[in-house]
Amino acid sequence: MAKLTFLGAAGCVTGSKYLVEAAGKRLLVDCGIFQGSQELQDRNYKPLPVDPKTIDCAMLTHAHLDHTGWLPVLAKDGYHGPIFANPATIELTTILLKDSAHLQEEDTLHAQTHKYSRHAEPRALYTTDDVDPVLKQLKTMPRSGGFDISPEFHVASYDAGHILGSSSLELTITEGGRKTVVVFSGDIGRYSQVILKDPTTPPSKADALICESTYGDREHPDGNPAELLAQIVNRVVKRGGSIVIPSFAIGRTQTFMYYLRQLEDQQRIPRVPVYVDSPMALSATDLYLKHREDHDLEFAREEGSDGKGDPLNVHEFHLTRSVEESKAINDVKTPCIIISASGMVSGGRVLHHLAQRLSDARNAVILAGFQAEGTRGRALQEGAKSLKLFGQDVPVCAEIVEMGQFSAHAGKSELMRWLTALPAPPRQTYLTHGEPAAAQALQAAIQQKFQWKAAVARYLDAVTIGS
- Minimum Å gap between C-beta 62 and Zn ion is 6
- Minimum Å gap between C-beta 232 and Zn ion is 25
Q: Which stretch binds Zn ion (CB under 5 A): 64-72, 81-89, 261-269, 325-333?
A: 64-72
Q: Which stretch binds Zn ion (CB under 5 A): 180-188, 323-331, 360-368, 449-457?
A: 180-188
Alpha helices in 310-463 (DSSP H): 323-328, 350-357, 376-381, 412-420, 436-450
Nearer to Zn ion, 64 or 261 (CB): 64
Q: Which stretch binds Zn ion (CB under 5 A): 179-187, 228-236, 265-273, 380-388?
A: 179-187
433 binds Zn ion (CB under 5 A): no
Q: Which stretch binds Zn ion (CB under 5 A): 3-11, 62-70, 110-118, 325-333?
A: 62-70
- Minimum Å gap between C-beta 84 and Zn ion is 18
Buried b (16+ CB within 10 A) or exposed e, 6-35: bbbbbbbbbbbbbbbbbeebbbbbbbbbbb
Nearer to Zn ion, 199 or 466 (CB): 199
| Number of residues in contact with Zn ion under rule CB under 5 A | 2
252 binds Zn ion (CB under 5 A): no
Q: Which stretch binds Zn ion (CB under 5 A): 61-69, 214-222, 267-275, 395-403?
A: 61-69
Nearer to Zn ion, 25 or 64 (CB): 64
187 binds Zn ion (CB under 5 A): yes
Q: Residues 6 or more apart from 114 whose CB is under 8 A from it? A: 390, 391
Considering only 64, 143, 220, 261, the residue that binds Zn ion (CB under 5 A) is: 64
Q: Measured between alpha carbons, how far is 14 from 25 in angstroms, rounded to an integer?
A: 25
Buried b (16+ CB within 10 A) or exposed e, 366-391: bbbbbbbebbbbbbbbeeeeebebee
Q: Report CA dihedral (236, 240, 246, 249) to the nearest 10 degrees.
A: 100
Nearer to Zn ion, 162 or 352 (CB): 162
- Minimum Å gap between C-beta 252 and Zn ion is 11
Q: Which stretch binds Zn ion (CB under 5 A): 5-13, 102-110, 182-190, 225-233?
A: 182-190
- Report the run of H or E that residue 254 belongs to, with start and end: helix 252-265
Strand, helix or coil for residue 243: strand
Tell me how far CA of residue 239 lies from CA of 190, 264, 295, 366, in angstroms. 34, 19, 37, 16
Of 154, 149, 20, nearest to 82 by C-alpha is 149
What residues pair up with 147 in beta bridges, in sequence order? 155
- Minimum Å gap between C-beta 421 and Zn ion is 20
φ, ψ at 352 (rounded to 5°): -65, -40
Nearer to Zn ion, 64 or 295 (CB): 64
Q: Measured between alpha carbons, how far is 400 from 177 in angstroms, rounded to an integer?
A: 57
Q: Which stretch binds Zn ion (CB under 5 A): 57-65, 77-85, 220-228, 392-400?
A: 57-65
Q: How many residues does the chain have?
A: 467
User: Taking CB positions, which residue lies at the least distance from Zn ion?
Assistant: 64
- Minimum Å gap between C-beta 96 and Zn ion is 11
Q: Measured between alpha carbons, how far is 65 from 387 in angstroms, rounded to an integer?
A: 24
Q: Residues 6 or more apart from 402 whose CB is under 8 A from it? A: 366, 367, 368, 381
- Minimum Å gap between C-beta 17 and Zn ion is 14
190 binds Zn ion (CB under 5 A): no
25 binds Zn ion (CB under 5 A): no
212 binds Zn ion (CB under 5 A): no
Q: Measured between alpha carbons, how far is 174 from 303 in angstroms, rounded to an integer?
A: 43
Kindly give the interhelix angle for 252-265 and 281-290, rounded to the nearest 10 degrees: 80
- Minimum Å gap between C-beta 392 and Zn ion is 31
What residues pair up with 464 in beta bridges, in sequence order? 3
- Minimum Å gap between C-beta 218 and Zn ion is 17
Q: Which stretch binds Zn ion (CB under 5 A): 121-129, 181-189, 305-313, 340-348?
A: 181-189
- Minimum Å gap between C-beta 162 and Zn ion is 5
Of 125, 122, 159, 111, nearest to 32 by C-alpha is 125
- Minimum Å gap between C-beta 407 and Zn ion is 11
Interface residues with Zn ion (CB under 5 A) are: 64, 187
